[in-house]
Amino acid sequence: MTPKSNHAARFLAMALSAVALSGLAHAQDPHIVRKLHLYTQTTAAASVDFPGAPYEFGAQSTASGVTLHLPGGSTQAIPYDASEDAYQILTPFATKAAMDAAYPNGTYTMTGTGLPTLTMNLTTDLYPASVPQITNGTWNSGGVLVIDPTQSVTLNISNFSSYASAGVAGHESFDLQTNTNSFSKEIATQAIFGLTASATPFTSVTIPANTLTTAKVYRAQIQFDTLSTLDTTTVPSGVIGLFGAHMEFWVAALAPGTAAMPLPVLTSQPTDRAAPLGGSATFTANVVLGGSQTVDMRWYFNGVELPFNSSKYQLGQNNTAFSLTINNIAATDVGSYYFKLVDTGGIVTSNTASLTLVALSVPAITSQPQGHALATGSSVVFSVTATGGGLSLQWKKNGVVIPGATAPRYLISNAQPADAGSYTVTATNGSGTATSTGATLTVAGSGDPGRLVNASVRIVSGTGADVLIVGFVTGGSGTSGSKQLLIRGIGPTLTGFGVPGAMVDPFLEIIPSGGTVAIASNDNWGGDALVVAKANAIGAFAFPSTTSKDSALLTTLAAGVYSAKISGVGSTTGTVLAEMYDANPSVYNPTTPRIINLSARATMANDNPLIAGFVIGGSTAKTLMIRAIGPTLTGFGVPGAMADPSLEIIPGGGTVAIVSNDNWGGAAILTSTGNSVGAFALTDSASKDAVILVTLDPGVYSAKVLGVNNASGITLIEVYEIP
């Protein structure tokens, strides 16, 4: 994907690039009223009208509170457009007649507090006589201009015949968007806004060799402008009225002799969506790419190109699925949307799909926040799930609004007795309000605070890259000394619990971070008396036979990062249970090392789910972050990563999840909490990785990973203690 250049800012972004690139504030941008005729070129023959909405009226001011006065006496406020960070009117039209009916030719003025009356003359049509187009070169059947990026290439441009005669000034620009910036050329008949003055238009541009990258596609634009008003004295930023002709096309950078690439193919079209005011809606199109895997993706609303990723619009790609999400939906978002994708094989455009409004349901709290007893200095997260659409959330403590607490989760770090109280959340939309039950928090000093005392992973362990490796971290901030652990690799004994395909003979190795040599290992546990005594003391289930080929180690480790590797003797495979116990769970003080992180990576399917069990010991609640990572593994070079994992937390003895997550959604609280515990970052808010941040009371729990739609693949499960 490449950055966008929206119709709304064409003259500002291209004609006045010397101003825009200087980094000056909007106060330095000109006031503009203009009419554009929009074109596109996909063949050597000629440019044609832009599909759907080839005419566009625009007005841009520099600040809030500016009013546009139309010929005939009507007025229109110039609103702030957050997607473009500009005060502007931008209206597309299917015909020139429709545009002229809504915005007739004549004299336009702008007024505003502290602003002199600004006059723009659009009395007579002064559209450039020439249509912008490339007049040479080779166009492929997909509508893309093909050039050799290793050679200097000259593109010939149609002659802007009325450049210096039709209005008070003329302007011409060429812009080709590269990987990091733009290759551009622009001139004007006068040396305005830092532009080069030229009495004649340019009729060619030369793109130097190696400006573009082989097998990539680029967007290019040409614009001819006739200025009917040019006033640089009334206000320093300038006042402009203009008629313009704007053309866009795409360039494929391909070396000579490259075989013709097929067109991309739409395998599914975006479909109509209905959403409430304040809600969100997502359109999706699936495309099989024909050429390079680098693409230029764009979505359009009523014929106008939408911004590339803003708070309002989010563009996404997941394999062959390309999506547009519209957030905080307003009445002005109702209309038609379509999708355009370009790769080196050519251009494909989707059908249009409509967005309509639906009435909001009355808010309802479907999952209540839970209260907890907490040790002083610990963290707690309150969570709520509400339905109704277009919701605004507000957390309160003892009925008093908590400033800034407006997300579905509310996290308190380093809790103190003053944080104790009753926490509620109110969900509001245009149809009503719902308030949760109160979640009571108590905070007190404790000599036995909540902590991880046991963690386990059950999955099939294979060979090579599919061998089960469980990572774990001991220690914790402010701790010192070593930690004694009971670590077990259980295979044969699982058969007695009805587990099919159990590993016959597991071999357990403990390897320190960065190392390759085990510092401790065990093949067959052999009835070790110390292992038996410790297992009995901490409540681990007993091995039924002293001659079973299960493996076990009682070891003392310095604080640090380790891996427990469980492989099958003789390269055998099978289901294995890796267990890790705090060997002294009842011995605790603030400096006692503890288990603070567990992770495991394995190939899984729904008939072989990845399950991480853990036990929270102590007498108070503990906050954990649990992640099931699939798609993000691809960025680390992991082949066959799970495309869409889901994650459930199930209490011991239960079958129903008390909390679950499918897609993590990019929530800021998850990002910041992950950063605080050293978890690698999830950089794509639209990725289908799953994350849960939860406070749990002491007890036994399982974190179960499943593949959505029965997907299989390599998945990483992680359990982090949140201090």
pLDDT band at 567, cuts 50/70/90? very high
Q: Write the pLDDT tens digit of every residue in 228-266.
A: 999 999 998 899 999 999 999 999 999 887 877 888 899
Per the model's pLDDT, the better-predicted residue between 102 and 685 turns out to be 102
Mean pLDDT of the chain: 90
Residue 335: pLDDT over 90: yes
What pLDDT score was predicted for residue 28?
A: 54
Residue 141: pLDDT over 60: yes
Residue 553: pLDDT over 80: yes
For residues 475 and 114, give the distance between their C-alpha atoms in angstroms, rounded to a whole number.
63
pTM confidence score: 0.60
What pLDDT score was predicted for residue 257?
A: 79
Q: Write the pLDDT tens digit of every residue in 3-56.
A: 333 433 333 333 332 222 222 223 357 999 999 999 999 999 999 999 889 999
Least confident of 31-35, 132-136, 226-230, 444-448: 444-448
What pLDDT score was predicted for residue 294?
A: 74
- Determine how many CB atoms are found less than 10 A away from the CB of residue 674: 21
Per the model's pLDDT, the better-predicted residue between 386 and 182 turns out to be 386
What pLDDT score was predicted for residue 493?
A: 96
Instruction: Of 541, 701, 540, 711, give the one whose Cα is nearest residue 609.
Output: 711
Residue 181: pLDDT over 80: no
User: For 126-150, what is the mean pLDDT?
Assistant: 94
Q: What is the DSSP string of 39-74?
A: EE--SSS--EEPSS--EEEEEEESSTT-EEEPTTS-
Which residue is listed with tokens 């000599």? 447
And the tokens for 135? 């007049």
- 579 three-class SS: strand
For residues 543 and 488, give the distance between their C-alpha atoms in angstroms, rounded to a whole number.
11
For residues 610 and 602, give the distance between their C-alpha atoms in angstroms, rounded to a whole number.
8
pLDDT band at 656, cuts 50/70/90? very high
What pLDDT score was predicted for residue 293?
A: 60
What pLDDT score was predicted for residue 16?
A: 34
User: For 399-420, what is the mean pLDDT?
Assistant: 96
Q: Write the pLDDT tens digit of every residue in 593-627.
A: 999 999 998 888 877 888 999 999 999 999 999 99
Q: Write the pLDDT tens digit of every residue in 54-84.
A: 999 999 998 889 999 999 999 999 998 776 7
Q: Write the pLDDT tens digit of every residue in 459-506.
A: 889 888 889 999 999 998 888 889 999 999 999 999 999 999 999 999
- Determine how many CB atoms are found less than 10 A away from the CB of residue 20: 16
For residues 167 and 707, give the distance between their C-alpha atoms in angstroms, rounded to a whole number.
64
Per the model's pLDDT, the better-predicted residue between 388 and 380 turns out to be 380
For residues 227 and 608, give the distance between their C-alpha atoms in angstroms, rounded to a whole number.
69
What pLDDT score was predicted for residue 236?
A: 86
For residues 139 and 41, give the distance between their C-alpha atoms in angstroms, rounded to a whole number.
10
Q: How many helices (H) and strands (E) does the chain have?
A: 5, 54
- The domains of the chain, with CATH numbers, are 7-250 (no CATH), 265-357 (2.60.40.10), 364-444 (2.60.40.10), 447-604 (2.60.120.380), 618-723 (2.60.120)
Q: Write the pLDDT tens digit of every residue in 188-211.
A: 999 988 899 999 999 999 999 988
| Range list of H helices, 67-146 | 96-102
Residue 550: pLDDT over 60: yes
User: For 640-657, what is the mean pLDDT?
Assistant: 93
For residues 327 and 280, give the distance between their C-alpha atoms in angstroms, rounded to a whole number.
4
- The CA-based diameter of the chain, rounded to the nearest angstrom, is 101
- 529 three-class SS: helix
What pLDDT score was predicted for residue 246?
A: 97
